Chain A
Amino acid sequence: MAVQREKAERLADEELMPLVGDCDPEAFEVLYDRHGGAAYSLAYRVVGDRAAAEEVTQEAFISVWRSGARFDSARGSVRSWLLSIVRNRAIDFLRSRAGKAPKLTFDDDSVLEQRPAQEHTEEEALQRETAAELRGALGNLPGEQSKVIELAYFGGFSHSEIAEILSLPMGTVKGRMRLGLEKIRGELAEGLA
């Protein structure tokens, strides 16, 4: 039985999720109204195209609607969970748009090991990253740290791809990711103190 919209609006996200899992459209609508803007903004930030961002956001929310029971409150907030789904969908979209699945023969293992050699220059990669300026805690990081974090999180590149793009050892890339996240976390902790 669907709850009334007014009642759903008074519930916390974590209280809405069981209702969403029980196919309650009012609860789902409230969830979208709370987080749809952030979700669409994130999708647009990653894919850089409004129509694609719309498609990604819709797919992400539909997956939430159809798998609402998977939310585990022990692993974080509903908003973080939802935005991670949006981010993953957006990265999937980028990768599918980059082209994949050429015709392959069954026994051509050498071809199977290859990834599309696309966007392997810093310029090409960063063109995909021009939708927004880094802000807040991320913007306060040294450029070398924010760049690897941005390429990974918003660009969907692996550490080895980033190492190739930036002509850096893989260990350096991973170290900068770690240091950058530690600094952001430190700023968050200071803000909460």
Chain B
Amino acid sequence: MTTTDHNRWSDDLGAYLLGALNPNEAADFERHLEGCERCRQELRWLEPAVDTLPETVERTEPPPQLRAALMAEVRRDVREDPRAEAPAPARPAAASPWRRWLLRPAVGFAVVALLVAGVVGYEVGKDDGGGNGNRVAFEEQIGGMTVKMIQEGDGGKLELAGVPQPPEDKVFEAWVERDGEVEAVPALIVPDRNGRAETTIADMSGVKTLMITVEPRGGSETPTGETIMEMKVPS
């Protein structure tokens, strides 16, 4: 590593620590870091400066209901997760389907080769059991993931099971395709510790394809990352 090489990257350090590099730039910088001990030392030196920034914020007391809502959700998780009752259980490794999907090349809608995997338990028209008259529009198993759509008016609630946790600094984002166009589903997919997640799709009319991809934090405007689920919506 020459001084010239180091100087070329030196000013990127602050922007990197502040999360201000674009994703490609950040990836390039991280590759440089691997081979530049001087940058790594400077990074370690400057990190506490960034850690200080949230501490400069004027304190605002959180509302009491935040704590109550948070703990209610936590205790609900505990009730639903039998591991919580066992003494000191080891956390399982990441779900195996994730590793398998990661090995897949990225698949974009522009070159859609629909991978409609083994369909198991495809049920149309069955009541969802919620006593509200909503129907199960479809339920399919794709790889290790169960994809269930509960019809609600023109739209539907997409219920997922067997969803792996996203990689650090990444999120899952869902997409629908209709009339040759792709649209993001507004809410990002956030699986709980049991691999369940749900999101609402306001309008399912004409939707031909559902897809979930791995995206940078905050989501993307178009699918850019690895595809973890892609399915043709049953007509």
Chain A residues engaging chain B, CB cutoff 8 angstroms: 1-2, 21-25, 28-29, 32-33, 36-42, 44-45, 50, 53-54, 57-59, 61-63, 65-67, 69-70, 76-77, 80, 83, 86-88, 91-92, 95-96, 100-107, 112, 115, 132-139, 149, 152-154, 156-160, 162, 171, 173-175, 177-182, 184-185, 188
**How far, in angstroms, from A53 to B57 measured CA to CA in the complex?**
14
Nearest CB on B from A67, distance (A): 6
A22-B88, A76-B47, A107-B110 given; name 5 further pairs at CB < 8 Å.
A88-B169, A135-B58, A138-B53, A139-B56, A185-B49
A136: chain B residues at CB < 8 Å are 52, 55-56
Per CB-CB distance, the 3 closest pairs between chain A and chain B, nearest first, are: A101-B184, A178-B14, A177-B14
A33: chain B residues at CB < 8 Å are 67
A112: chain B residues at CB < 8 Å are 221-222
Chain A: interface secondary structure?
helix
B73: chain A residues at CB < 8 Å are 58, 62
* B41 interface residue per 8 A CB criterion: no
> Among B15, B52, B62, B66, which residue has its beta carbon within 8 angstroms of that of A184?
B52
B61: chain A residues at CB < 8 Å are 37, 40
> Among A53, A159, A188, which residue has its beta carbon within 8 angstroms of that of B15?
A159
**How far, in angstroms, from A175 to B48 measured CA to CA in the complex?**
18
B51: chain A residues at CB < 8 Å are 76-77, 80, 83
Is B53 within 8 A of A57, CB to CB?
no
Which residues from 7 to 45 on chain B have a C-beta closer than 8 Å to any C-beta of chain A?
10-15, 17-22, 45
* B59 interface residue per 8 A CB criterion: yes
* B77 interface residue per 8 A CB criterion: yes
Q: Which of B15, B171, B186 is most buried by chain A, counting CB atoms within 10 A of its CB?
A: B15
Is A106 within 8 A of B110, CB to CB?
yes
Is A25 within 8 A of B78, CB to CB?
yes
**How far, in angstroms, from A157 to B20 measured CA to CA in the complex?**
6
**How far, in angstroms, from A117 to B4 measured CA to CA in the complex?**
36
Is A153 within 8 A of B15, CB to CB?
no
**How far, in angstroms, from A103 to B182 measured CA to CA in the complex?**
6
B84: chain A residues at CB < 8 Å are 2, 22-24
A77: chain B residues at CB < 8 Å are 51
Nearest CB on A from B136, distance (A): 27
**How far, in angstroms, from A10 to B63 measured CA to CA in the complex?**
25
**How far, in angstroms, from A63 to B219 measured CA to CA in the complex?**
16
Is A32 within 8 A of B57, CB to CB?
no
Given the contacts A66-B193, A100-B184, A178 and B54 also touching, CB distance less than 8 Å: no
